């Protein structure tokens, strides 16, 4: 969970959003492109729906007496939901810009302009949601920055995309923490010493390096998702590879974090402790790599379960409300923040049970399923698509 402002009540995880995919594109938080629109991948929609339900759980789940969640397994949603959203944003960037064959020349220029325009609108919407003053950290401004940072990588091959993701996951936090976190207990960070600010140096207005969902770090998910989206997502071999690679990454990252902390490897150094702490929303290398792993594994599993054929159709039918929720992520994201603003911040800080969480989930699933089957694209997704087309 992300640390709230000083003096805030016990914290819940920050808010997150999902991107749009291929056809019909839910315009919420996705990367647009002017490419031919291929068949929609049900597994991606379901993965996005799982992420949004996880977001609701992280924000509204009941707290255990000693902290954490009640029941404790609800903590699995904390941090990993936001990571899955960002990863799927990268997948959607690829799906909406040619899949395995990115555009070039004038087509690439149009795609980048379209993404830039959409990022600007998401930034504005995020600013408006922040004005509601809920306890949630709104991801939209950082999301807009992530899309802009991804623009130079739209035409990159998968190897360079993976290298870029690794750089964001490992090098970015190491450098940022070196500047903003003391090397030794009782010392001062470099930036803290220059400015006199409190360590570790953080700013909610800094969407690139020290704020929540710092784009220079969280872009690891975008770039990894972009690499995955440039691959053959219908290949069962690739889907199985996603599960295997994701499981390995998650196990190694969080396992090494636990071993290093238990061995006291970071004792006396806030900087080293920050690097090896794998708790949710720490933005450490181990947390980012571990969350990349869970995102890969979950998405690969859902793609396999919804493969063409009778078993896949059965799974898709059962999960259709979740897929519908995933297809209109901007609508549900915005709606849940507005609902929290209306109900009051106590539903986040002081939940008396999981009753409010269950209501949010049921209402979201019923609304999304009904809207999608009657009207298709989500309301805010449709509005954003119209505005984007108007601004071209």
**Which residue is it, tokens 């936001």?**
82
Q: What is the pLDDT of residue 39?
A: 67
Of 9-23, 215-229, 370-384, which gets the smallest average pLDDT? Answer: 9-23
Tell me how long the chain is. Answer: 392
Average pLDDT of the residues in 361-372: 96
d(CA 321, CA 102): 31
Each domain of the chain, given as residue ranges in start order, spans 42-181+198-231+307-391
Examine the pLDDT at 209 and tell me if it is beyond 60. yes
Q: Is the peptide bond before 24 cis (omega within 30 degrees of 0)?
A: yes
Each residue of 222-244: pLDDT tens digit?
Answer: 999 999 999 999 999 999 999 99
Of 250-259, 276-285, 325-334, 350-359, which gets the smallest average pLDDT? Answer: 350-359
Examine the pLDDT at 126 and tell me if it is beyond 60. yes
Each residue of 50-98: pLDDT tens digit?
Answer: 999 998 988 888 766 655 666 766 778 888 999 999 999 999 999 999 9
In the three-class reduction of DSSP (H, G, I as helix; E, B as strand; rest coil), residue 63 is classed as strand
Q: What is the pLDDT of residue 34?
A: 40
H or E element, residue 154: none
Each residue of 291-349: pLDDT tens digit?
Answer: 999 999 999 999 999 999 999 999 999 999 999 999 999 999 999 999 999 999 888 88
d(CA 188, CA 170): 23
Give percent above pLDDT 90 in the chain: 69
Q: Is residue 27 very low, low, confident or very high in pLDDT (cuts 50, 70, 90)?
A: very low
d(CA 22, CA 302): 17
* Per-residue tokens: 153: 């990588």
Q: What is the pLDDT of residue 162?
A: 97
pTM: 0.87
Residue pair 149/233 in contact (Cβ under 8 Å)? The answer is no
Residue 69, φ and ψ in degrees, nearest 5? -115, 160
In the three-class reduction of DSSP (H, G, I as helix; E, B as strand; rest coil), residue 69 is classed as strand
Give percent above pLDDT 70 in the chain: 87
How far the first Cα of the chain sits from its last, in Å, is 39
Q: What is the pLDDT of residue 70?
A: 62
For residue 41, what are the CA distances in angstroms to 21, 88, 101, 122, 304? 8, 12, 17, 24, 11
What single string gives the DSSP state of each residue in 177-212?
HHHHS-SSTT---HHHHHH-PPSSP--TT-TTTTST
Alpha-carbon torsion angle 304, 290, 168, 81, nearest 10 = 70
């Amino acid at each position: 969970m992300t640390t709230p402002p000083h003096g805030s009540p016990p914290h819940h995880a920050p808010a997150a959003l999902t991107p749009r995919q291929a056809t019909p594109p839910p315009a919420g938080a996705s990367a647009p492109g002017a490419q031919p629109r291929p068949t929609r991948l049900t597994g991606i929609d379901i993965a996005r729906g799982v992420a949004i339900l996880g977001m609701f759980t992280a924000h509204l789940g009941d707290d255990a007496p000693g902290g954490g969640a009640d029941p404790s397994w609800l903590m699995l949603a904390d941090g990993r939901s936001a990571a899955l959203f960002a990863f799927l944003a990268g997948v959607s960037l690829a799906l909406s810009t040619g899949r395995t064959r990115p555009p070039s020349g004038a087509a690439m220029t149009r795609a980048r302009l379209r993404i830039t325009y959409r990022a600007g609108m998401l930034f504005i919407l995020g600013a408006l949601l922040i004005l509601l003053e809920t306890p949630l950290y709104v991801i939209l401004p950082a999301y807009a920055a992530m899309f802009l940072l991804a623009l130079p990588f739209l035409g990159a091959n998968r190897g360079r995309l993976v290298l870029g993701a690794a750089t964001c996951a490992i090098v970015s936090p190491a450098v940022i923490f070196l500047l903003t976190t003391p090397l030794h207990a009782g010392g001062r960070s470099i930036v803290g010493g220059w400015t006199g600010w409190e360590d570790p140096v953080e700013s909610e207005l800094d969407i690139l390096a020290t704020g929540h969902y710092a784009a220079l770090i969280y872009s690891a998910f975008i770039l990894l998702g972009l690499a995955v989206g440039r691959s053959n997502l219908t290949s069962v071999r690739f889907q199985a590879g996603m599960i295997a690679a994701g499981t390995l990454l998650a196990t190694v990252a969080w396992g090494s974090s636990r071993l290093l902390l238990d061995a006291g490897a970071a004792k006396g150094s806030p900087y080293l402790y920050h690097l090896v702490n794998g708790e949710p929303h720490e933005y450490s290398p181990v947390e980012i790599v571990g969350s990349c792993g869970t995102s890969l594994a979950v998405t690969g599993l859902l793609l396999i379960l919804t493969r063409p054929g009778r078993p896949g159709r059965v799974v898709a039918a059962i999960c259709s409300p979740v897929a519908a929720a995933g297809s209109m992520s901007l609508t549900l994201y915005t709606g849940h923040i507005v609902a929290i603003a209306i109900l009051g911040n106590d539903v986040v800080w002081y939940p008396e049970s999981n009753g409010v969480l269950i209501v949010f989930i049921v209402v979201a699933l019923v609304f999304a399923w009904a809207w999608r089957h009657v009207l298709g694209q989500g309301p805010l997704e449709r509005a954003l698509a119209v505005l984007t087309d108007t601004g071209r």
